[in-house]
Structure 1
Amino acid sequence: MTLLNLTKPKPKDLDTGFTVVQGNALDMHMFADKQFDIVYSNSVIEHVGSYANQSRFAAEVRRVGKSYWVQTPSRFFPVEPHFMFPFFQFLPGHVQRQIALSWRYSHFKRFGVPRERILDELSTIRLLSIREVMSLFGSEGLYREMFLGLPKSYVAFKKG
């Protein structure tokens, strides 16, 4: 198993028996085409910024994996999953900023994340619609996780 992270691995990460690689999922040039039996990504694609970056992420996943499983929260679920605030993703940027820095129920506030990191996360989180997921991965392998009749998240998958 190979783990890819933006940050340099900590010594304890190297004791897992896994191969730990520092890199960026938008450019996995260090890996060959179809090098991995499966690429697993859970709630990462919405953190890479723009749709162009999400497209690069998806292209790299499809390139390096024989199979893949990519999960992302739904843009249209009423509660934004990072800030835990109803309809947060539809509010103007200046309102989002105020909520992000003060809403005590957000994951960031609950875990004492510094202000600068909260603002950085706010600037890079971009939730996806089902149409966007389909445009990035196709509609062949697509699972909708539903909650109370609403799409909570999407999984794009390919069986190798």
Structure 2
Amino acid sequence: MKSAISKSMRSLANQNVDGSISETFRKKRMKLFEKFCEKIGRNLKVVDVGGTFYHWKSSAEILESIELTLVNIEKETEELPDKVKFIQADARSLEFMNDKQFDVAYSNSVIEHFSYFEEQVIVGTNIRRIANHYFVQTPNYYFPVEPHFLFPFFQMLPEGMKKTLVKNFSLGWYEKQADENSAAELVKSIRLLKRKEMIELFPDAEIHEEKFFGMNKSFIAYH
């Protein structure tokens, strides 16, 4: 029974499942991004900080109108078309990129994957520095279901309780952790952001709220 519920939750939250909640939000978000880019201009140089080509494959219309550079600490596994480039790099260490090198910096559900707010500040500063405009999405800390572990209010639990849960159960996208160290590392690897923190990270941005049954599911900072 628990396994069936877990699979159902993953299916609803999986962007790759047609008709899932997550896929529906992704489509709406990409439409919003497309309109955002149209207001800026054509043939834009876009850098996706922390992204993969898989995220863009179903957005052919956008890909045709931009020159895309993917930046990710992990190697890209997809075969890339000519207009798409890949740079293997850490979002915290983009010193090799020039100021305003790109027209738009895009980042989708990445900035919460840094353990400390100080690191998120560095990532946010880099995003604002390397592009004239940006479009940054992240889940809302106060949304009832934590989107990575798919567990109600997981983000608000004491750290010790989080470690106990991930050591004893497979939660969300993660298998049960084998020991204390791996559990601690996993729990520490995600830090969801509050609205006021997004404003602090991106002070010149407007904040768009993605709603689910009237609740703020996630935020998009755009400028």
Under TM normalisation by the shorter chain, which class is it? Answer: 0.7 to 0.9
Q: 1:78 aligns with which of 134, 144, 148?
A: 144
Tell me which amino acid in the other structure corresponds to 2:73. Answer: L
Give the whole-Å Cα distance in 1 for the aligned partners of 2:102 and 2:193. Answer: 25
Aligned partner of 2:201: which letter? L
Q: Does 1:102 pair with 2:168?
A: yes
Q: Identify the residue that residue 45 of structure 1 maps to in structure 2.
A: 111
Native 8 Å contact 1:13 1:20 kept in 2 = no
**What is the CA-CA distance between 1:120 and the residue it aligns to?**
2.8
Contact 1:47-1:121 within 8 A present in 2 as well = no
Q: For structure 2, which runs of at least 5 residues remain unmatched after alignment?
A: 1-67
In 2, Cα distance between the equivalents of 1:53 and 1:128? Answer: 12
- Is the partner of 1:151 in helix, strand or coil? strand
Letter in 2 for 1:148: F
Q: CA deviation at 1:101?
A: 3.1
Q: Which residue of 2 aligns with 1:27?
A: 93
Q: Secondary structure at the match of 1:121?
A: helix
Q: State the Cα distance separating 1:98 from its structure 2 match.
A: 1.9
| Separation in structure 1 between the aligned mates of residue 93 and residue 166 of structure 2, nearest angstrom | 30
> Which residue is equivalent to 1:63?
129
* Equivalent residue in structure 1 for 2:193, among 113, 128, 147: 128
Any idea what the Cα deviations from partners look like across 1:32-66, whole Å, max 9, x if unmatched?
00111111110100001100000000000000011
Distance 1:108 1:77 in 2: 20
Number of matched pairs: 154
Cα distance, 1:3 vs structure 2: 0.9
- Verify the 8 A CA contact 1:67 1:157 in the aligned structure 2: yes
Larger RCO: Structure 1 or Structure 2 (Cα < 8 Å, ≥ 6 residues apart)?
A: 1
SS of corresponding position for 1:108: coil
1:147 aligns with 2:147: no
Per-residue deviation, residues 8-47 of structure 1 (Å, max 9, x unmatched): x35x546443221111111211110011111111010000
* Cα distance in 2, alignment partners of residues 4 and 139 from structure 1: 23
* Unaligned ranges ≥5, structure 1: none
| Percent identity for Structure 1 against Structure 2 | 34
Q: CA deviation at 1:138?
A: 1.9
**Greater CA deviation, 19-28 or 71-80?**
19-28
Distance 1:65-1:118 versus aligned 2 partners, 3 A rule? farther
Determine which of 41, 49, 69 is the counterpart of 1:2. Answer: 69
Partner amino acid for 1:19? Answer: K
- CA distance in 2 between counterparts of 1:39 and 1:114 reads 37
Q: Distance in 2 between matches of 1:139 and 1:35?
A: 19
- Checking the alignment, whether the CA contact within 8 Å between 1:70 and 1:155 is kept in structure 2 is yes
Query: RMSD in angstroms over aligned alpha carbons?
Result: 2.2
